[in-house]
Structure 1
Amino acid sequence: MPQRLAVLTISTTSPRNSARSCGVPSMRFMVKSRTCIGVPSSPRSARSDTGTTSPGPLPGMLSMTAHAIIPTPTTATQITPTIHPDPHLHAQQPIVGLLRSGSGAVQSVRPRRPAPRPEPTYDHAMLRLSRTVRFSVNPGASTPGAAIPGAGASHGPVRNGYAAWPAMRGLGRHYELDVVCRGEADPQTGYFVNIKEIDQAARRAALPLIERACAESPATEPGALMPGIVRALGSELVGRLERVRWRLSPTYSVEMESDDMTSVTLRQRFEFAAAHRLHVPAMSDEENRACFGKCNNPSGHGHNYRVEPAVRVPLRDGAPAFGLDDLERLTDEAIIERFDHTHLNTDTREFAVDGGLNPSVEHIAKVCFDLLAPRVKEAGAELASVTVWETEKTSCTYPG
């Protein structure tokens, strides 16, 4: 009688974990008989490679019965599994196969197992990816269009993208675009979006708009260009762009959200020098020293405070209704003139020793916001927040 061969694919499970957790998603046997028994090896069921006998299924065995085993490529093999659970078997143990021949003898075989594939444990949470793209707008510049980001007749090859591309030539302008995208990272590559794609999109879509405005209408308010910049970048980074912040100088920027192109957020930084002492009259001298340390020195100490208001400005007929001149004038009147070169505890009403606030950076940020917000509102805009830096390492934003 000719031998009949079949290929059985056996998937195993256990009372504790799935076969995938065991690192053995499937295995193949070449069988010559109708019954195949797969047994997870364990101290209780250890056996040598030379074979052993078994009167029947043992606890923890997987019995497989194949019906109508015919060696033709068009015939499907039917497999009926029966699980004999054994709670003492460990889910991570390897699988050893037992083949029962027609005479009843049982032989042990070790199936070839594929290399284990680690399962990704990535948590599919939304994330934000920010990329800063630096570039220069040079006198007489013309964008090479499709040549970006390679070489163009006027811009030349990319040699120092960290500093800026196009590179500065002559009396040019240096700008930065902070492009913020939002989405989920690929669980295998870890990428949400390739940063080179962001660079190319900014230089291909946004740079020509800025260059054209600098050449043809240099008096244009930057906020008026933001809808076009955001739309152009959004068409390149479809479904991923969240917001764009254009930094026109180290201190001055305009920002727009991709889902609200009816307004821009204007930011400018200011500075004032002031002395202060951290001291709470309701606390004892010992408690103040323990709480504030050197900042409780009776003579006080000084800082060069930096202040950055963020003003939400509506666009009217495509142009912002509130400009940088307005922000600088109102901030100077409300904050700088009031606090610059003063001792906050002794020279100001807001932080006076009797009845004022303790001049921490937290309180200074809140006071600056409260002083500036009404003036900005009267001018037709909305103060979103104020950030105050006490040092390079310490800042507070109110409201947070």
Structure 2
Amino acid sequence: MTPSPALSLTRTTRLYLAPGSPVPPKGENSFASYTSSSGLGAFYEITLHCNGPVDDTTGFVESIYDMDQAVHAVMAPRIAEALKTGCDHPAQLLEACLPGLQARLNAGVDRVDWDLTPTYRMSMKTDDPNAYLLSQQYQFAASHRLHNPDFDEQKNRDVFGKCCNPNGHGHNYRLEVEVKVPLKNAEPGHGFTVLDLDRIVNETIIEDYDHTYLNKDVEDFSHSNPTVENITLSCHKRLSEPLKACGVELNKVRLWETEKTCCAFPADA
């Protein structure tokens, strides 16, 4: 029999951790995990990325039930304790949990994502244990016109459609910036934080792009079409050096023009 090629399997486990409640949580399966509680608490999503071949007997790369149980057994108690004491940086907690997650699963754990809010995520890859990935999402509203002055009016219409309307049109853009941070910086109250990322993105992108007509108000697009591709490249170019000056590396930029259209750079990050 031909050996199965390696596949990547992703599973998201949702946790609702409330003071005084059992850890891991107990109850009925409500929203793809045991997330309900009658009191106040913290809600998180943990996503495991597992790589491996398909098992001949089960057809699994890994049992999703085992992936859920690994998160419940390894991460939930540590997160609950950290919420009480406030002593762990999320990246330190991820580092401490990786061996336990791997020990409970047959497939290789390639990456763990921890969504601390709907827009703020920390991640760690097992092949790069000396760093973690920090990502945050932002929004800005801008208008643009897609048009090539070297094309005649009909060709512009054929290529760009309604997007070449002379008076422009607008979008609420959603920008995700992911940076690679040395793990040695993961000390509460020290090193690079999401607040630093917020400041840099606001100063370099939001203040210049938000509520503008990109073609006329932003120098970046004085000689290039403000497509989602070119805006993504411009955001990456603007952010790279300010982040490097803070001791972190820009890993990836994603830009959603609409919920259906997204561009990312670099493509292989």
Asked if Structure 1 and Structure 2 have the same fold, meaning a TM-score greater than 0.5 normalized by the shorter chain, the answer is: yes
Q: Which residue does 1:253 correspond to in 2?
A: 121
Question: Which digits, 9 at most, give the CA deviation of each residue in 1:124-179, with x for residues without a partner?
Answer: 21100000000111023452xxxx6xxxxxx433x125254252331211000001
The equivalent position to 2:260 in structure 1, one of 393, 396, 399, is 393
Alignment map for 1:281-300 (pairs within 5 Å)? 281-300=149-168
Q: Do structure 1's residue 376 and structure 2's residue 243 form an aligned pair? A: yes
Once superposed, which parts of structure 1, at least 4 consecutive aligned residues long, lie more than 6 Å away?
none
Matching residue's letter, 2:243? V
Matching residue's letter, 1:276? H
Q: Cα–Cα, structure 1 residues 164 and 367, in superposed 2: closer, same or farther, change >3 Å? A: same
Question: Which digits, 9 at most, give the CA deviation of each residue in 1:53-86, with x for residues without a partner?
Answer: xxxxxxxxxxxxxxxxxxxxxxxxxxxxxxxxxx
Q: Do structure 1's residue 175 and structure 2's residue 56 form an aligned pair? A: no
Question: Which digits, 9 at most, give the CA deviation of each residue in 1:355-380, with x for residues without a partner?
Answer: x2100000000000000111100011
Contact 1:246/1:253 (<8 A) preserved? yes
Q: Cα–Cα, structure 1 residues 361 and 162, in superposed 2: closer, same or farther, change >3 Å? A: same
- Structure with larger Rg: 1
Cα shift at 1:239: 5.1
Contact 2:4/2:53 (<8 A) preserved? yes
SS at match of 1:358: coil
Cα shift at 1:325: 0.4
In structure 2, C-alpha distance between the alignment counterparts of 1:209 and 1:260, rounded to whole Å: 22
Alignment map for 1:179-198 (pairs within 5 Å)? 179-198=48-67
Q: Cα–Cα, structure 1 residues 317 and 384, in superposed 2: closer, same or farther, change >3 Å? A: closer
- Report percent identity of matched pairs: 40
Question: Which digits, 9 at most, give the CA deviation of each residue in 1:256-308, with x for residues without a partner?
Answer: 01122111100100000000000111222221111000001100100000000
SS at match of 1:133: strand
Structure 2: tracts of 5 or more residues without a match: none
In structure 1, C-alpha distance between the alignment counterparts of 2:220 and 2:186, rounded to whole Å: 39
Matching residue's letter, 2:161? G
Q: Which residue does 2:229 correspond to in 1?
A: 362
Q: Which has the higher contact order (CA 8 A, sep 6+)?
A: 2
Q: Do structure 1's residue 301 and structure 2's residue 169 form an aligned pair? A: yes
The equivalent position to 2:214 in structure 1, one of 344, 366, 377, is 344
- RMSD, aligned CA: 1.8
Alignment map for 1:173-322 (pairs within 5 Å)? 173-217=42-86, 220-238=88-106, 240-316=108-184, 319=187, 321-322=191-192
Matching residue's letter, 1:357? S
Q: Do structure 1's residue 329 and structure 2's residue 199 form an aligned pair? A: yes
TM-score scaled to structure 2, two decimals?
A: 0.93
In structure 1, C-alpha distance between the alignment counterparts of 2:243 and 2:33, rounded to whole Å: 35
Contact 1:136/1:164 (<8 A) preserved? no
SS at match of 2:195: helix
Deviating more after overlay: 328-337 vs 160-169: 160-169
SS at match of 1:260: coil
Question: Which digits, 9 at most, give the CA deviation of each residue in 1:9-64, with x for residues without a partner?
Answer: xxxxxxxxxxxxxxxxxxxxxxxxxxxxxxxxxxxxxxxxxxxxxxxxxxxxxxxx
Cα shift at 1:318: 5.1
In structure 2, C-alpha distance between the alignment counterparts of 1:156 and 1:125, rounded to whole Å: 37
Contact 1:278/1:296 (<8 A) preserved? yes
Aligned residues between the structures: 265
TM-score scaled to structure 1, two decimals?
A: 0.63
Alignment map for 1:134-173 (pairs within 5 Å)? 134-143=14-23, 155-157=25-27, 159-173=28-42
In structure 1, C-alpha distance between the alignment counterparts of 2:14 and 2:265, rounded to whole Å: 29
Question: Which digits, 9 at most, give the CA deviation of each residue in 1:93-135, with x for residues without a partner?
Answer: xxxxxxxxxxxxxxxxxxxxxxxxxxx7x76211000000001
Q: Which residue does 1:81 correspond to in 2?
A: none
